[in-house]
Amino acid sequence: ATLLPPLLIKSRTRLRKSVEYAIIINANINIRKCKLIFRLYYNKDNVRQPIVRPAAKPKKIIWIINPANGHAYAKIQCRDWHDAQQKAIAEGAHLVSINDEDEQFWLEVIFGSPFWIGLNDVEKEGVWVWDSGEPVTYTNWATREFPHDPSPETERDYVAIAPHNHEGGWQSAGPNSPPWRMVRQAVIEKDGLVSKIPEAAESEDE
């Protein structure tokens, strides 16, 4: 592990009176595939036992219902489009499909941008399909592309909603495109996941 320069601080803890200063050294280790951070406290005479602190737990996925269609949506962290697709499958969901301007607007308001969506032309170049299998009835392509994109059009098989400084439109991207490195979030979708509240029983007239 990389050791940071020693930092001397006055001890304000209930250590022995002989302890006047402590040196804090941070190190990252991997135990049982969990990253732990622990602090080692030193003084002139002895070495304190390490205090082991587990890393924060992964964030729980929060589903948000779109009242217009009753579908549930959630934003997830991902490495790229493929990783997002696998995480969606693990949740019993699919990468988001956008079927009209109202749904596009709702997604931008709720989740911001950028994020990966389900549109792709992996199977046949130029024939765009949704990850869910739904027909493509609406598109919102950006009017300008990311600058300095070395990928040819034939390799840009995946789509992300671009940042707001690119007008929030859709950008196709491949593994060598800027969005592939920049976009680390995706929106996933489930159909029919609506919270059901039991209806109150009707009171009988006396």
- Fill in the amino acid letter for 72: A
Quick check: is 198 in a domain? no
Q: Does 22 score more than 70 pLDDT?
A: no
Higher pLDDT, 145 or 72: 72
- Residue 22 belongs to what domain range? 8-54
Determine the Cα–Cα distance for residues 29 and 26; give it in Å rounded to an integer: 10
Quick check: is 202 in a domain? no
Query: Which pLDDT band, with edges at 50, 70 and 90, does 109 fall under?
Result: very high
| Cβ count near 162 (within 10 Å) | 25
Q: Is 103 found in the same domain as 42?
A: no
**Cut 0.75: pTM above it:** no
User: Looking at residue 4, what is its pLDDT?
Assistant: 44
Q: Are 159 and 95 in contact (CB under 8 A)?
A: no
Q: Which two tokens stand for residue 39?
A: 């602090």
Q: Is 120 found in the same domain as 46?
A: no
Q: Which of 28-32, 172-176, 184-188, 191-195 has the lowest mean pLDDT?
A: 28-32
Q: Does 75 score more than 90 pLDDT?
A: yes
Start-end of H helices in 37-130: 81-90, 101-111
Quick check: is 173 in a domain? yes
- Fill in the amino acid letter for 83: D
User: Looking at residue 88, what is its pLDDT?
Assistant: 98
Average pLDDT value for residue range 134-141: 95
Query: Which pLDDT band, with edges at 50, 70 and 90, does 156 fall under?
Result: confident
Higher pLDDT, 159 or 23: 159
Q: Is 160 found in the same domain as 93?
A: yes
Higher pLDDT, 36 or 205: 205
Q: Are 153 and 163 in contact (CB under 8 A)?
A: no
Quick check: is 96 in a domain? yes
Higher pLDDT, 41 or 187: 187
Domains: count for the chain: 2
Q: Is 152 found in the same domain as 112?
A: yes
Q: Is 168 found in the same domain as 78?
A: yes
Q: What letter would DSSP give residue 148? A: T
Q: Is 184 found in the same domain as 96?
A: yes
What percent of the chain is modeled with pLDDT above 70?
62
Q: Does 42 score more than 60 pLDDT?
A: no
Q: Is 76 found in the same domain as 158?
A: yes
Residue 159 sits at the vertex; the CA angle it makes with 106 and 103, to the nearest 5 degrees, is 15
Quick check: is 82 in a domain? yes
What does the radius of gyration of the chain's CA atoms come to, in whole angstroms? 25
Q: Is 83 found in the same domain as 178?
A: yes
Instruction: Name every residue whose Cβ is closer than 8 Å to that of residue 190 and which is 6 or more positions away in sequence.
Output: 63, 71, 72, 73, 91, 92, 93
Quick check: is 204 in a domain? no
Average pLDDT value for residue range 132-161: 86
Output the CA torsion 150→155→158→159 (10° steps): 50
User: Looking at residue 166, what is its pLDDT?
Assistant: 60
